[in-house]
Amino acid sequence: MNTNNNLYTIVYATLMVVATAAILAFVSMALKERQQKNIDMETQLSILSSVGLAADANGASDKIAYVQGEYDKYITDSYLVNYKGETVPGDAFTAALKSQYELIKQLDPKSGEDQTAIKDQIQIPVFECTLDSGEKVYIVACYGTGLWGPIWGYIGFKSDFNTIYGAMFAHKGETPGLGAEIATPKFGDQFKGKSIFDGDTFTSIAIVKGGADKDNPHEVDAVSGGTITSNALALAIQQWLGSYEGFFKLSAEKAKLQETAVQESAPVETNEVESAEN
């Protein structure tokens, strides 16, 4: 074939494009499983980190295997709940937080409009974590939009479904040294021991610029120089925890009923029997 004519150039270019596309497709398929494992590992690590687990993950020789092992050990149950707090079918781990966020951000507690259609579509994840002490912690998610991209996190609650056990937050592109500070343990640790209810009233957690009141159980300090990110995170937390309010209240009520049932079924003490007989 004459290498100087147009036909040769066209055939050669076509073969090169096809060959390159085939190689790229093969590489993509070969790496797809590994990429998905990395994505799953990061999600598992975020969930565990919210309650102070898997702290040695970065030093593990096989990070994926280590995180998977810790996740299987401590996350003893997971499920989706609806706006009412009822369990619904579905996989909590693969729940699409972004699509749920698109629904949640449309809710306005002050709106006089009927928002039932939106609420009926909400299905958000809950992860039950059983610690070495036997204490059970309930981990919920949050997701929002920061200054430069998405922000998200996981918040663990004690079995009173009010007191925060721990929290972690992450971001895709917030400014280093400013908004990106929401991802630091120093920021997340502020949430420990805070509460989201004042009696039966949902309050959420305020992220306060200029310093939170240390005696206020519903406030934490904003990140210095990251006002927009702090405000965006506070809004995301309020929106998501508000959507979990039904779950918190329903679960707390169930816990009280179970506690009452246990107390009522407890064996009568000997001295109480003797007093009754006398």
Query: Burial of 132 by CB count in 10 Å (0-12 exposed, 13-18 middle, 19+ buried)?
Result: exposed
**Of residues 5 and 39, more confidently modeled:** 39
Q: What is the pLDDT of residues 44-71, one digit of tens each?
A: 999 999 999 999 999 999 999 999 999 9
112 DSSP 8-state letter: -
- Four-CA torsion 87, 88, 89, 90, nearest 10 degrees: -90
Give the whole-number percent of the chain exceeding pLDDT 70.
89
Q: Domain locations in the chain? A: 77-263
Predicted TM-score (pTM) of the model is 0.84
Residue 248's CB is within 10 A of a number of other CB atoms, namely 21
Q: What is the pLDDT of residue 216?
A: 97
Q: Is the pLDDT of residue 12 over 90?
A: no
Q: Count Cα neighbours of 239 within 13 Å in the Cβ-side half-sphere.
A: 24
Q: What is the pLDDT of residues 77-91, one digit of tens each?
A: 999 999 999 999 999
Task: Give residue 276's pLDDT band: very low, low, confident or very high (50, 70, 90).
Answer: very low
**Arithmetic mean of pLDDT, 165-175:** 95
Q: What is the pLDDT of residues 185-236, one digit of tens each?
A: 999 999 999 999 999 999 999 999 988 998 999 999 999 999 999 999 999 9
**Arithmetic mean of pLDDT, 133-139:** 97
Q: Is the pLDDT of residue 151 over 80?
A: yes
**156 within 8 A of 126, measured Cβ to Cβ:** no
Q: What is the pLDDT of residue 273?
A: 42
Q: What is the pLDDT of residue 54?
A: 95
Q: What is the pLDDT of residue 106?
A: 94
Q: What is the pLDDT of residue 3?
A: 60
> Taking phi first (over 0 means left), then psi (-120 to 50 degrees means alpha), and beta for anything else, what does residue 212 get?
beta
d(CA 80, CA 88): 6
